[in-house]
A and B are shown apart, each in its own frame.
Chain A
Amino acid sequence: MTATGGIAIGSSPRLAPRRRSWLRSPWLVPLPGFLLLAVLSLPPFLYALYLSFINVDISLPNNKVHFVGLANYAQVLGSPVGQHALLITLIVSFGSTAAAIVIGLVIAYLIHLFAGRLDGLVTVLVLIPLAVSPVAMALVFSLMLDPLYGPVPQIVAFLTGALIAPTGTSLGALLTIIFVQTWQWSPLAVILLLGGIKSLPIEPIEAAMIDGASFWRALWHIHLPLLRPLLAVAAIFEFILCSQVFAATELLTNGGPGNATVDLSLYIYKIGISESSQVSVAAAAGVITLILGLISTAVWLKVAKWDVQVYQ
């Protein structure tokens, strides 16, 4: 810097007139965006927060509305139905995220290794589930799994002689929901990871193979660690998508059998709108969902260390 001999670089006071300091604030450029976001999303959020601390119930219009503290939160977290919904949310979102990443990774490697010049076509075909509306998909699955008319139980009955109803038991219904979520969102992992696999250097693998490592060892110890930042990004995206279940639980199982597949979003819908009218409890459950989402994302970011370079 000193070698430039006093010639100023950049916005020197001598070359440009000094601007007022707030104009140079780093907040200025994104400010309109932040404002727009605040106007659009803060009022409903603040209103939901307000609702969650009072006792609004649409079916009791003559009830006196007053501050109830954390009673609504206690009802969500303290009632068996609310606790179960929380558990189902965690199982479905983590279960389908893990499944989508594993399946996405396997499919991405298969395309990379075997599709050859057809990989463009195969990738487009693999992407189809992403383009299907979740509602249409839930309805198609409910038809396919129908014990009397659906092809899946018919094939199983032909092979084993027993007619089954996949969504007729608690475990079956839960696995079906996880399967549907995985089926819908794993293609996103495929494109993300396929891009990553194609961009990785081939040299470390070649070096390892020359040193006598088997294909699996090279894959496991060299290729996958190189892929880790992308895996982490894919996992975060997958988690955000997979934790937003509604079409499948509402249309395919309707939360059933009983409450077996009622997750937090369906719980909110049922307790606030469709089966009861406890708007305040629903608002509290909404805030809990938001907090849960934030915590989960933070945990993912921490665990995945997606911004840490691997071999540097």
Chain B
Amino acid sequence: MKYTSLPAFAFSLMLLPAAAYAQDYEAAVKSSLPDFAQANAFSGVTINVACRHLPAMDFIESHKALFEQYTGAKINFTDYPENDLRSHIVADAANKAGGFQLYCLDDNYIPLFASNKWVQPLDSVIKPAYKIDDLFDSLKSAYSWQGKLSGLPIYSEVTILYYRKDLLAAKNIAVPKTIAELEDAAVKLKNAPRTYGIALRGLRGEGMNVYTWTEWLRSYGGDFLGPQMQPVFNSPEAIEGTEHYAKIIHDAGPPGSGTWGWPQVSSSFAAGRVAMTVESTAFYPTFNDPKQSNVVGNVGYAVVPAGPKGAYPANYAIGLAVAASVDPSSKAFTATSDFLQWATSQQMEFARTAQGIGNEDRKSVNQSALLKSKLDPAYIEAVSEGQKITKTNYRPMIPQWREMGDIIGAHIESVFTGSTTAKDALDAAAAEVSDRFKTEGVLNTPRQYEELFPSN
């Protein structure tokens, strides 16, 4: 007994500080309630949330009882599959059905929803306790439409360069800082058919190939739209960027990877079949989970490589917004906006980080000792730097973006598979987008956002 209990006792002593920390963060979530809402003020109010499963969302859902007990409001979460969520929310918003008070929205839906007045502006109700300036700046502007805050983020990501430390060291290759170095390293690291140099997204889609291809477009100086909303993403710079993206897939990517989406890209890196990838920070847990990854301990992290015009990490965020059907003068609106701020507060984010749910939205969490104790410092550095340099209008934040992105995605996929040239594909996409903009009545109207290269 004595001999077994002694190590157990020592072990529990070691665990004690960590456990105490987690409890402290939980306690802070509870004790922060008076900063966000009045006690027993919202009895009879029901808040329906249209959302999808995300670790951060599930974490909020598991804490909703605290808010319910404190304020008397009732909160229902309705989880939809990712692809169904949008149509449910659009139907609710467009028909003013009022079925939901909170919508879970990707940042690139904010322009569509805000311009159609489907969501309520939030500027006047943000409380000092929310510490809004603590959010990454790019994230705050992504959730604003024409200067009005239209939602609050619960999840954010940027892209970073993941590389295999062991493979680069074996060939004595330095971590690529430019796209030229990346191309060079990828070809040198290719050892077919066992390992390939790099995997990048090729599959069509605004959230697929366009998400990472835009880095190349921006890095070579390409823009999406001119001052009068005319498509310019078939400019010589854009063609050059697209050719480089296609070339690295062709020269160093696995066969057929011109049609890969993120599932194939991430699983091939986790399986150790590719040496590098430029992917979302969302894959950090996958690559570091021994159950899903063969490369634990060998993964290096860096800011995405730069082209002639600099480095442009992709960004993406998910947040919650208050439906327009909630009357801003009503008790329901106060309850909804109070709950929203509490649910996305700094305290909540620390508590979920303590539970190992990453993807931080706030500078304070990103730079905290808590995060450093949980994640690779090189990764934290890459995220912090990436969040600093990423641009809100990396992709145009306009209501038409999704559709325009999908049109571009379909055409550039055939460049990545070698079926057509970058010029032909981008010209065809530009013509299609022009037609569509004409129908929508936005062609030859002033552009509503700042392009990254204003010279165009």
Chain A interface (Cβ < 8 Å from any Cβ of B): 57-62, 79-81, 146-149, 153, 157, 163-170, 173, 253-260, 270, 273-277
B255 contact from A60, A163, A255, A258, Cβ within 8 A: A163
A163 touches B254 (CB 8 A): yes
Q: In whole angstroms, what is the CA distance A149 to B264 when docked?
A: 10
Q: Apart from A146-B264, A170-B414, A258-B412, what 9 extra A-B contacts exist at CB < 8 Å?
A: A60-B440, A148-B254, A163-B192, A168-B257, A254-B261, A257-B202, A258-B414, A275-B205, A275-B206
A165 touches B255 (CB 8 A): yes
Which of B161-169, B173-181, B376-384, B416-424 contacts the other chain?
B416-424
A62 contact from B116, B402, B403, Cβ within 8 A: B116
B258 contact from A57, A153, A166, A168, Cβ within 8 A: A168
How many of chain B's residues have a CB under 8 angstroms from any CB in A? 47
Q: In whole angstroms, what is the CA distance A60 to B402 when docked?
A: 13
B440 touches A58 (CB 8 A): no
Q: In whole angstroms, what is the CA distance A173 to B94 when docked?
A: 38
**Chain A residues within an 8 Å CB radius of B258:** 168, 257
Q: In whole angstroms, what is the CA distance A146 to B402 when docked?
A: 29
Smallest Cβ-Cβ distance to A258: which chain B residue = B414
A168 touches B428 (CB 8 A): no
In the complex, how many angstroms separate the beta carbon of B419 from the nearest chain A beta carbon?
A: 5
A275 touches B193 (CB 8 A): no
A169-B440 contact, Cβ under 8 Å, with A81-B432, A277-B403: no
B410 touches A58 (CB 8 A): no
Smallest Cβ-Cβ distance to A276: which chain B residue = B403
In the complex, how many angstroms separate the beta carbon of B416 from the nearest chain A beta carbon?
A: 8
Does B203 count as interface, using CB distance less than 8 angstroms? yes
Q: In whole angstroms, what is the CA distance A260 to B203 when docked?
A: 12
**Chain B residues within an 8 Å CB radius of A257:** 202, 258-259, 413-414, 416-417, 419
B254 contact from A60, A147, A166, Cβ within 8 A: A147
**Chain A residues within an 8 Å CB radius of B27:** none
A256 touches B413 (CB 8 A): yes
B259 touches A253 (CB 8 A): yes
Chain B interface (Cβ < 8 Å from any Cβ of A): 83, 87, 90, 94, 112, 116, 192-193, 202-206, 254-259, 261, 264, 268, 271, 273, 399-400, 402-403, 406-407, 410-414, 416-420, 425, 428, 432, 435-436, 439-440
Q: In whole angstroms, what is the CA distance A227 to B259 when docked?
A: 44
**Chain B residues within an 8 Å CB radius of A259:** 410-411, 414
In the complex, how many angstroms separate the beta carbon of B313 from the nearest chain A beta carbon?
A: 25
A164 touches B255 (CB 8 A): yes
Q: In whole angstroms, what is the CA distance A166 to B417 when docked?
A: 12
Q: In whole angstroms, what is the CA distance A167 to B419 when docked?
A: 13
A148 touches B417 (CB 8 A): no
A147 touches B255 (CB 8 A): yes
B90 touches A58 (CB 8 A): yes
A-B contact pairs, 14 of them (CB 8 A): A58-B90, A62-B116, A79-B435, A165-B259, A169-B417, A169-B419, A254-B204, A256-B259, A256-B414, A258-B419, A273-B87, A275-B205, A276-B406, A276-B436
From DSSP, what is the main secondary structure of chain B's interface residues?
Answer: helix
B254 touches A59 (CB 8 A): no
A256 touches B203 (CB 8 A): yes
In the complex, how many angstroms separate the beta carbon of B48 from the nearest chain A beta carbon?
A: 21
B112 touches A59 (CB 8 A): yes
Q: In whole angstroms, what is the CA distance A36 to B258 when docked?
A: 49
**Chain A residues within an 8 Å CB radius of B271:** 148-149
Smallest Cβ-Cβ distance to B442: which chain A residue = A60
Q: In whole angstroms, what is the CA distance A169 to B257 when docked?
A: 10
A167-B255 contact, Cβ under 8 Å, with A62-B116, A258-B419: no
In the complex, how many angstroms separate the beta carbon of A50 from the nearest chain B beta carbon?
A: 19
A170 touches B203 (CB 8 A): no
A256-B255 contact, Cβ under 8 Å, with A169-B417, A170-B417, A170-B419: no
A254 touches B411 (CB 8 A): no
**Chain A residues within an 8 Å CB radius of B254:** 147-148, 163, 165
A167 contact from B259, B399, B407, B440, Cβ within 8 A: B259
A256 touches B406 (CB 8 A): no
A256-B116 contact, Cβ under 8 Å, with A147-B256, A168-B259: no
**Chain B residues within an 8 Å CB radius of A274:** 83
Smallest Cβ-Cβ distance to A173: which chain B residue = B259
**Chain B residues within an 8 Å CB radius of A157:** 193
B417 touches A168 (CB 8 A): yes
**Chain B residues within an 8 Å CB radius of A277:** 403
Smallest Cβ-Cβ distance to B420: which chain A residue = A258
**Chain B residues within an 8 Å CB radius of A168:** 255-259, 417
Q: In whole angstroms, what is the CA distance A57 to B403 when docked?
A: 12
**Chain A residues within an 8 Å CB radius of B257:** 147, 165, 168
Q: In whole angstroms, what is the CA distance A159 to B254 when docked?
A: 18
Q: In whole angstroms, what is the CA distance A273 to B86 when docked?
A: 10
Tell which of A147, A149, A169 has the most Cβ of chain B within 10 Å.
A147
**Chain B residues within an 8 Å CB radius of A62:** 116
In the complex, how many angstroms separate the beta carbon of A288 from the nearest chain B beta carbon?
A: 19
B406 touches A275 (CB 8 A): yes
B403 contact from A59, A80, A253, A255, Cβ within 8 A: A59
**Chain B residues within an 8 Å CB radius of A256:** 203-204, 259, 413-414, 417
A58 touches B94 (CB 8 A): yes
